[in-house]
Amino acid sequence: AGIKIIGVSAVVGGVMKICQQGLSMWHAAVEGARTVGGAIFGIGTDLSPALVSVGYIVGRNISILVFGGGLISWAFAIPIYSAVYGYEGDPMEAAWNIWNTQIRYLGVGAMVVGGIWSLIKLMKPLVEGIKASLAALKETQAGALVDRKERDLPINYVFIFLVAMLVPVFLLYYDVLESVPVAAMLSLVMMVFGFLFSAVASYMAGVVGSSNNPVSGVTIATILFTSLLLLSLLGEGSPAGAAGAILVGAVVCCAAAIGGDNMQDLKTGYIVGATPWKQQVMQVVGVLSAAVVLGLVLDILHTAYVIGSPTLSAPQATLMKSVADGVFTGNLPWNMVMFGAVIGIAIILIDIRQEKRGADFRVHVLAVAVGIYLPIELSVPIFIGGMVAHLAKKAGADKTTEKKGLLLASGLITGEALLGIMVAVPIFVTANKNWWPTVGGFSWLGPVLFIGVIAWLYRSVTKR
């Protein structure tokens, strides 16, 4: 039954992706803007079932926070900025321009604060974890028997692998920066940040879940710090400085993301009684396998859609690139970054108060920061999905129907993702961006199907 649910929903998500992305039957998003007294108020929603499914999976709390971050940008910051400084042209285009050049950097400040706060909060568990690993190593060396379900890869093996991996990373940095001292320094920075932030991400994923993995926050913090460090060494306008900072951020980002994913696997293994070291060996195999194919997949997607374009916006990646470029060109809007940091501190204080009250609803700064820098049209469907999950639960959904909803949402995400790649394959192979015929004329169908999928998801969970 579970396979059938995933299969059917994957087909639905995939067909909608082909119709929208391949055949261009309807626009990817619906949006609009109005002006009130010189202030622009814009709103929109992506018509992607996958984004609704993401909201459903992460739940009400996170989806509300992401949408709340979007409201900070689009209901407050953009209207205030447009009213004070004015704008030219179409209101919606002007709103996007203001968001792109100014407002989204509020998210950078909040993200950096959130990443640092995550590290501060988890410093004690991190130190205790290191002590436990070293103690286990001493016991093993002393000949003590360790229970099968507690046996990890020896920590000395981990250190050997770490040193071995520093060599290709150093060579990569040297190839870009053409300086042995700078490449060596960046390798050290990468190792320190990668260790600290992957530990933070792993802890958060293990305790709370992957929805609270602070990957974006720690990556932006790393890129900003590394950019400032390289700026002091290479000077403003360095052609290689931004690329070097991005490379360090890329490694730290991968380390944090994989760390969180690995912790979920290990937690599952602990529940079912697996042997940790065997899981860890296969996790290494999984990372190597992904490294082999990911480059090709990204190349296919970039050839077909262009990463960073409206079709494949990659908001986190474009923001990180803008931060690195902004530091070296002197165009980073530091006032917005500082305002964002203040917003982040305020959110942390609110969350501390919520924690002391024992409130179920927590205000996670990184979720709000993500909403601030995400396009509003991505935040809206995530919010809708979270509310569908909440309303379904209030309507009496039990464990069985909730599981059905999760399977359905997972299928929608899988189908849309796979068919998005399949649509790109013929474009990549033929080098013809117009390979798919343009049907058009069905702009009404996208919103109708979008609403239909939302209703289907809700009904599947509440139907008994």
Q: What is the DSSP string of 10-62?
A: HHHHHHHHIIIIIS--S-SEEEEEEEETTEEEEEEEE--HHHHHHHHHHHHHH
Structure tokens at 390: 């909440």
Per the CB < 8 A criterion, the answer to whether 52 and 385 are in contact is: yes
Q: What is the pLDDT of residue 77?
A: 96
Q: What does the pLDDT read at residue 118?
A: 81
Please report which confidence band the pLDDT of residue 398 belongs to, taking 50, 70 and 90 as the band edges: confident
Task: Give 27-55 pLDDT, tens digit per residue.
Answer: 999 999 999 989 999 999 999 999 999 99
| pLDDT the model gives residue 143 | 61
Residue linked to tokens 């993500």: 370
pLDDT computed for residue 464 by the predictor: 65
Asked if residues 345 and 110 have their Cβ atoms less than 8 Å apart, the reply is: no
Is the CB of residue 378 less than 8 Å from the CB of residue 315? Answer: yes
Average pLDDT, the chain: 88
**Three-state secondary structure readout of 342-404:** HHHHHHHHHHHHHHHHCCCCCCCHHHHHHHHHCCHHHHHHHHHHHHHHHHHHHCCCCHHHHHH
| Whole-Å CA distances, 357 to 64, 65, 196, 351, 364 | 20, 19, 30, 10, 15
Cα atoms in the 13 Å half-sphere on the side-chain side of 289: 6
Is the confidence at residue 387, as pLDDT, over 80? Answer: yes
The SS3 call for residue 307 is strand
The DSSP annotation for 142-209 comes to: TT----GGG-PPPHHHHHHHHHHHHHHHHHHHHHHH--HHHHHHHHHHHHHHHHHHHHHHHHHHHHT-
Q: Hey, what are 332's tokens?
A: 């980073």
Looking at residue 144, its pLDDT comes to 63
pLDDT at 209 over 90: no
pLDDT digits (tens, 9 = 90+) for 97-124: 999 999 999 999 998 898 888 888 878 8
More confident position, 142 or 449: 449
Task: Determine the pLDDT at residue 446.
Answer: 93
Q: Which of 376, 419, 421 is nearest to 74 (CA)?
A: 376
What is the structure's pLDDT at 104? 92
Query: Nearest to residue 42, comparing CAs of 58, 31, 26, 30?
Result: 31
* Count of residues in the chain: 464
- ∠ Cα 128 134 138 (to 5°): 140
- CA dist 63 and 312 (Å) reads 22
Rounded Cα distance between 216 and 203, Å, is: 16
Question: Looking at residue 142, what is its pLDDT?
Answer: 65
- Going by pLDDT thresholds of 50, 70 and 90, the confidence category of residue 207 is low
pLDDT, tens digit, 9 for 90 and up, residues 126-158: 788 778 777 766 766 666 666 777 788 877 888
Q: Which letter does DSSP use for residue 309 in this model?
A: S
pLDDT surpassing 90 at residue 413? yes
pLDDT of residue 177: 85
pLDDT of 458 above 80: yes
Summarised one tens digit per residue, pLDDT across range 65-79 is 999 999 999 999 999
pLDDT given at position 162:
86
What type of residue sits at position 309? S
Q: Please give the Cα distance from 220 to 317 (Å, whole number).
A: 10
Distance of alpha carbon 456 from alpha carbon 8, whole angstroms: 12
Is residue 35 within 8 A of residue 23, CB to CB? The reply is no
Separation between Cα atoms, residue 296 and residue 401, nearest integer Å: 38
User: What is the per-residue burial (b if ≥16 Cβ within 10 Å, else e) of 439-464?
Assistant: eeeeeeebeebbeebbebbbebbbee
- The token duo for 421 is 């790649």
Q: Average of pLDDT values for 437-441?
A: 85
How does residue 15 score in pLDDT terms, banded at 50, 70 and 90? very high
Q: Is the pLDDT of residue 336 over 90?
A: yes
pTM for the whole structure = 0.86
Read off the pLDDT of residues 168-180 as tens digits, 9 standing for 90 and up.
999 999 998 888 9
> Number of C-alpha atoms within 13 angstroms, CB side, residue 303?
19
Confidence of residue 210 (pLDDT cuts 50, 70, 90): low
Question: What does the block give as tokens for 392?
Answer: 């379904």
Dump pLDDT digits (tens) for 187-197: 999 998 888 88
Tokens of 183: 């490449």
- Greater confidence (463 vs 96) lies with 96
pLDDT band at 310 (very low <50, low <70, confident <90, very high): confident
Task: List, in sequence order, every residue forming a beta bridge with 30; answer none if it has no partner.
Answer: 45
Q: Of all residues in the chain, what percent carry a pLDDT higher than 90? A: 48
pLDDT band (50, 70, 90) for residue 404: confident
Q: How confident is the model at residue 425 (pLDDT cuts 50, 70, 90)?
A: very high
pLDDT at 212: 64
Q: Compute, in degrees rounded to 10, the torsion defined by CA atoms 102, 210, 253, 350.
A: 40
pLDDT band at 202 (very low <50, low <70, confident <90, very high): confident
pLDDT of residue 110: 93
Residue 214, burial from CB neighbour count under 10 angstroms (0-12, 13-18, 19+): buried
Specify the range with the lowest mean pLDDT, choosing from 85-94, 124-133, 159-168, 181-190. Answer: 124-133
Question: What are the phi and psi torsion angles at 34 (to 5°)?
Answer: -130, 155
